[in-house]
Structure 1
């Protein structure tokens, strides 16, 4: 029974890889961005307990899944149930280039223009990945990866087929 957890920096290709796995293995997909934030402006993080309830509902309803995001505080809730873990540990410049080429994410932004208006903030955020020490940081992701005892792989390039 396939249960994938994918994590890494913003722009590392988590959603792209998740969509590939959904198609290849007929999996249900949970993007943690959709359950980590309250639907208000400016956005604020949802209480962890509220996000945890939504994750629990997803896991109850789906036996084969891929869950992806950069939230190590939420990822640690699902990683014990994963069969496979993927850490997309790409160089920051590749993540920034991916962010610049990102198609319109309709589930996050009401228009491509609004998404593009957020690009500078996103690039700044991506550039701090190696130096931050929060739940979104490389150090937090490395700890998740190192602690997982099952099947795991780390990619350090956009070319995952090599």
Structure 2
């Protein structure tokens, strides 16, 4: 299994990745782990891509998930399936409000909570953004991919995957 899961923050990418991993052995890479240089500064695309390519080369079965269209576009030829989670902005916001503490991203639950309103505003702009993280760019990637692909528009659809 070599799967890429694409979608907005809060869409359920990590949750779906864990569900798929429970059904079939695979390792998971969140692109958040390779996209940033300590904090909010984005690493160069070349450096991020080198890390992702190294991950792919060192694992036979993997799931990569994220919202970084620039990275995903360059690794699409390596995947067997592209899954696009597109449940709508309000669902993503609701998920962000109840997500558990993510120690790989924040040093404390308090720090994560302090960032919540910024995250919600970012999620809310998904449909109008024109950058690598927006719906337009995600839709372009999904439509251009010629391999196996699925789009899910409600969490109940991908809860049964």
Q: TM-score range by the shorter chain?
A: over 0.9
RMSD, aligned CA = 1.0
Deviations 1:72-119 (A, max 9, x none): 000012111111110001111000000001000010001111001100
2:46 & 2:148 partners in 1: Cα distance? 28
1:97 & 1:55 partners in 2: Cα distance? 30
1:91 & 1:60 partners in 2: Cα distance? 34
Which stretches in structure 2 are left out of the alignment for 5+ residues? none
2:57 & 2:155 partners in 1: Cα distance? 33
> Which one of the candidate residues 121, 135, 143 is aligned to 1:146?
143
> Which one of the candidate residues 41, 61, 73 is aligned to 1:76?
73
Which stretches in structure 1 are left out of the alignment for 5+ residues? none
> TM-score scaled by structure 2?
0.96
1:137 & 1:59 partners in 2: Cα distance? 25
SS in 1 for 2:100: coil
2:77 & 2:54 partners in 1: Cα distance? 16
> TM-score scaled by structure 1?
0.95
Greater CA deviation, 95-104 or 74-83? 74-83
Q: Say yes or no: does 1:45 pair with 2:42.
A: yes
Instruction: Give the ranges of 4+ consecutive aligned residues of structure 1 lying more than 3 Å apart after TM superposition.
Output: none
